Structure 1
Amino acid sequence: MKLLLLGATGLVGRLLLEQALADARVRQVTAPVRRAGALPAQPPRLLCPVVDFQRLPEDADWWRADAVVCTLGTTLKAAGSREAFRQVDHGHVLQAAQLARRHGTPAFVLTSATGADAGSRLFYNRVKGEVERDLEALGFASLTLVRPGLIGGARTESRPAERLSQQVLGLLGPLLPRAWRISPAPAIARALLRSALQPAPGVQVVPADALAG
């Protein structure tokens, strides 16, 4: 299969890329990046075109794939404003999905979040819900929404509040319902890859309790 991976430089994206390149079923992975050298040494099966996510190339051949896996995302702190956050987590995701759909890619797999709800009063949950809703409207033959809870793993950027939450939930994990436990990044990556390699028809949701550590 040919996979298009969006967000390959992030925590989950890097793990997913490793898993995909280690899987004999994957013939090629295209992982667009913002700057050259953003990913380590590239094997022949990996293509890393440099793109501007504000102006994605509309006619690139790599939009045509067997499946898109999207792990794009940021935080309000990193984005700097609600508008900038929405541009990444909704705007970039939806534009990429539209281009892939236009080029005939049949399956799309998204890292969303627990609590995603277009009608939520919480901004983060509302944006996640809106992008889920708008992706569904594009009519992919297969759309999988993976909804982790707090993502567990070592990030390159500093997130003190998230790190503290991981420590607390790590201690309480055995006492909590599975849906409230940490979602380990490798488990999320495995769920994403499995959904891309074995796409089920229609809209599928992978909840946090299926990802819990």
Structure 2
Amino acid sequence: MSDKVAHLRFPTPAPCGRTPLTASGLSKAYGSQEVFTDVSLAIDRGSRVVILGLNGAGKTTLLRMLAGVESPDTGEVVPGHGLKLGYYAQEHDTLDLDVSVVENLRHAAPDLTDTQVRSVLGSFLFSGDDADKPTRVLSGGEKTRLALATLVVSAANVLLLDEPTNNLDPASRAEILGALRSYEGAVVMVTHDDGAVEALTPERVLLLPDGDEDLWNDGYAELVSLA
């Protein structure tokens, strides 16, 4: 299995302005339960940010807001010049379950030829008939690989990644982390995986629920697996 995993690379990100994504004054509550209040974040071109916080601190909620999937109660998310967003959702809700594996990839990159689409899918271990399977029958690990494949072809310049290495076999995980390491765009990541943080080499950390930002230092590394 591991022999078949091709060397993945994210394509060169689409050009964008200096700050492709800005969020200011974001708050979210569910009923009387406040998740976080007044969180602001500016994502500069090529910057790398890890979001840390205990379970329930709103990490996934914040990524969903940045992706435009969920609305904040207060504040706003403002796309900068040329923003092209790639969002990896932990629950794979970016995939269309009603179409085939191949169709999901075509939606993400309509300019690719059929040969190119099948070649990318092959590198994510979907070869031959597997590529024509309906997406809804895939296992959790297969959905993870497909969702990541759609990101790889998207030329996004800001990736929002929510636990991208969950469910991956060791060979696929190593490939994704290698691709992340050499990716030139900006990344905002939520993860419990020390190896993913190491591959990302983050510059900054955002701590939830307080929304405090700090420069990354190794003292934060021990919070990753606790988060």
The reply to whether TM is greater than 0.5 is no
The structure with the largest strand share of the pair is 2
Report the structure number with the largest CA radius of gyration. Answer: 2
The structure with the largest helix share of the pair is 1
Q: Which protein, 1 or 2, shows the higher relative CO under an 8 Å CA cutoff with sep ≥ 6?
A: 2
